[in-house]
Structures are given as structure tokens and as C-alpha cells.
Amino acid sequence: MNCLSRCPVTVASCSGPCCSGGRSARCCAGRQPAEPVPAAVTLEQLSSELARLVESSVSSAASEPLLRVAEALTGLQSSLADISSRLDAAAAFQLRVEQAHAETHTRLRSLEESLQGTYGTAAGGSDNLAVTTEVTLGSDEITPDSADVTESGSRGVDCPDGNGTADHQTTATAAPSPPSRVALGQPCLSDTECSEVQPNTECGERRVCACVAGYRQVSAGECRRRSELSQPCAEDADCLLPDAVCADGVCDCVPGFWNRLNTSCRRLSQSSEGGKCAGDPDCDTGLECLSGRCKCKAAVHGQYEFRVAGSYNCSVGTVELRVSGGDWGFVCDDGWGLVDATVFCRSLGFESGKGYGGARYGRGSNFYMDEVDCDGSEPHLLRCAYDGWGRHNCNAGEVSSVVCSHFA
């Protein structure tokens, strides 16, 4: 056994071969080991003792290791002071976390009680909430106001990153419970809450139970289907279309609109001849809708139909005629004059007319009559003399036209 194992190096009075590196067991014979350094000695005390030893050392070779130990102890002391400061900051932050958590829990309890009061559910106290809290080092500040409560019942607290701080996340989830049932006009969160109480209802945009599209509320618990055009009604609100009213017990279009196939109310546009249309009411007086365009109404005499076309109204234009249901054709201007035009205009309901040739309102090729010669007493052109149905020697520029008048 060497002397160093029996004679501790911490003994300040040790000298001679024992403390200078000798290995003889006799160097420590009869020497009592020095008392050990108390466990409660502080870093400041150790540093002071090392400094005293350095000053009392007889050689620089002996003092140099002590200087290095003293420097190490000084660095350790600084590190411990920094750790202590951080622990104090962490303790202060933990206190703020606990305060924010308590505030979060209080607000969640208040939210739960508010929801239970709104939907008429039984109060379940804190057992109805499952609260979990997660704290992670890495943020600077946390306050109850930074918490965010979502509609589903969760609340989160987010903190910016920093040293010696934490991120806090608190989530509260309502315990599972049977779906609530909400009546018309009451607040809701889903369509199911409404439809389980009353069919044809939904949770509307304002988060209130309301009737679905096409239905209207007639009582606290009933949604009635609105009526289409020509269907029975009791009041205007029963009618589905916005431009419809309840008239004589059925839905009909308001004045200024017309009923198109019981599917829509169209504004009376009064389109002129040639204008677009969906039905006769879209056209001006004396016009009818044919193939999506307003055309002058035809006058029917027996199996023949007569009309004017190609102009801005139904008193001026090209003379047209056809066998009912057939193709429209023209009258050649050979021999066409005032008397012939007057007979034609009278067949349309006018008093008189003037005749013109030369395809004044449009050219054509499908001629039915040529060399017409009326005496003025005929009810329509087919009673006048002519060369025969479909017989002619005319070209596209020989189409007859008229200007009719209600005055003789």
C-alpha cells in the first residue's frame, strides 16, 4: 500500500517524501489522517482555500495544478449560478402556466354550462369534460387571453419559442352523449339535430333550424311544401316562385309576367317582329312566337293562312301564305296592285292597303300565286283570279309586299 492511500492529499500540513511523490510506507507511519472536508463546504470556500494554497506553495510547479483547479471551480460556480437563474425563471413560468390553465378550465366550464343551457341538456359538471394539458419547453409567454376555443369544444394555448419557456396546449372535449333534438327556430349545429324533430328541415346558414328549400314554416313544428304555378294555395307565401301570387286559390304570375309551362314567370317583353321569344306573351300585339322568334299572327281562312313578314310590325311587310301546316310562300308581283293589296289587308283585319313589288322587304323563291287579279269584293286572295296554285314564272326579286292601314 502506498502512502497516498493512507495519507490523504487534502492534508494541508503534509510534507516530505510522502507528499512529494515518495512511495515508502514509513513516511506516513504514526501520522493520523487529516479530518475530511465537511460535505457542506461551498464553492466559495473551496476557491478561497485553493487561493491560499497557491500563495503558500514553495514552487511554481506545485502551484500550477492548483491554479487550474481554481479556474475550473470558478467556471463551475458561474455555471451553477446560471442554472439557478434558469430554474428560478422556469419556476416563475410554471406558475404562469398553472394560472393560465386554471383560467382555461374556468372558461371551458362556462362554455359547457352555456351550451347545456342553450340546448336543454342536463348539467353534468366537470365529468362531462375530458381535459388534457401538454407543456413543452420552448416559448416565452403564456396568458389566458392567448387561448383559442374552437366550436367543437377544444382550447389551445400557443406560445412563441424562447429560452427556458414552454408551449402550452389544453384541449377540452365534450364527453360522448346522445344527439340533441332541436325544434324550428332554435340554435343548431347540424342538420340531423333539426331533421330528427321535423322532416324537411335543416340547420341553416344562421345556425338556426329552418325549412329546406321549397318549403316554408307554417307553425312551430311544420314545414309545408310551396306550390308550383297553377297549384292550390291559401296565400301568396304558399307560392314557390318569387314572381307568383295566390290568385283565386292557385299560384299565378304577377301582372307584367306570364306563365310559361307552369315552370317560370317570364316578364312580358313585347318583342317586335323577329325578336327572340319563348312563347306568344313575349311578343308584341299581333305577333306570335314561332321557332323562338316573334312573327306576325296568321289570319286563317278555310285551309289557308295569310300574314305579313320581314318588317318591324304586322301591318307592313312581305305577303306570305300557305296551306295550314305547310311551308310559307310568296305572291309574285306580276299584276300586283292597290285592289289586290286591299283584299289581302282586309283578310288580316285592316281596312285598306297599298301594294308594292320588287321584293321590298325580302327576296324569295317559293311562289304560290302569280298574276293575281282581285275585284275588291273577295274575302281573301284565294278567291281572286290567278294562274293556279304554285304556277309562276317569277324570280327571287319579284316578291309582293303591302302597307296595311286601319283607315279606309
List per-residue pLDDT tens for the chain, 408 residues long: 444 444 444 444 445 544 444 444 444 444 444 455 454 556 667 667 766 766 665 455 566 776 777 777 778 878 888 888 888 888 888 888 888 888 888 888 877 777 665 544 433 443 444 434 343 434 444 444 444 444 444 444 444 444 444 444 444 444 444 445 566 778 888 888 787 777 788 888 788 888 888 888 777 677 888 888 888 888 888 888 888 888 888 898 887 787 877 888 877 766 666 777 888 777 776 678 888 888 888 899 999 999 998 877 788 899 999 999 899 999 999 999 999 999 999 999 899 999 999 999 889 989 999 999 999 999 999 999 999 999 999 999 999 999 998 876
Contact 289, 277 (CB under 8 A): yes
- What is residue 364's three-state secondary structure? coil
AA identity, residue 194 = C
Residues of the chain with CATH 3.10.250.10: 292-405
- pLDDT of res. 204: 81
Instruction: Tell me the CB-side half-sphere exposure of residue 168, using CA atoms within 13 A.
Output: 26
* Residue among 405, 402, 329 nearest 369 (CA): 329
- Residue 65 dihedral angles phi and psi, to the nearest 5°: -60, -35
* Residue among 273, 359, 356 nearest 313 (CA): 273
- pLDDT of res. 307: 92
Which 3-state string (H, E, C) describes 39-88?
CCCCHHHHHHHHHHHHHHCCCHHHHHHHHHHHHHHHHHHHHHHHHHHHHH
**What residues contact residue 291 under an 8 Å CB cut-off, 6+ apart?**
none
Q: Is the pTM of this model over 0.85?
A: no
Q: How far apart, in whole angstroms, are the C-alpha atoms of residue 295 and residue 284? A: 9
Q: Which fold has domain 292-405?
A: Mac-2 Binding Protein (3.10.250)
What CA dihedral angle connects 183, 187, 192 and 193, to 10 degrees? Answer: -50
Q: How many CB atoms lie within 10 A of CB 141?
A: 12
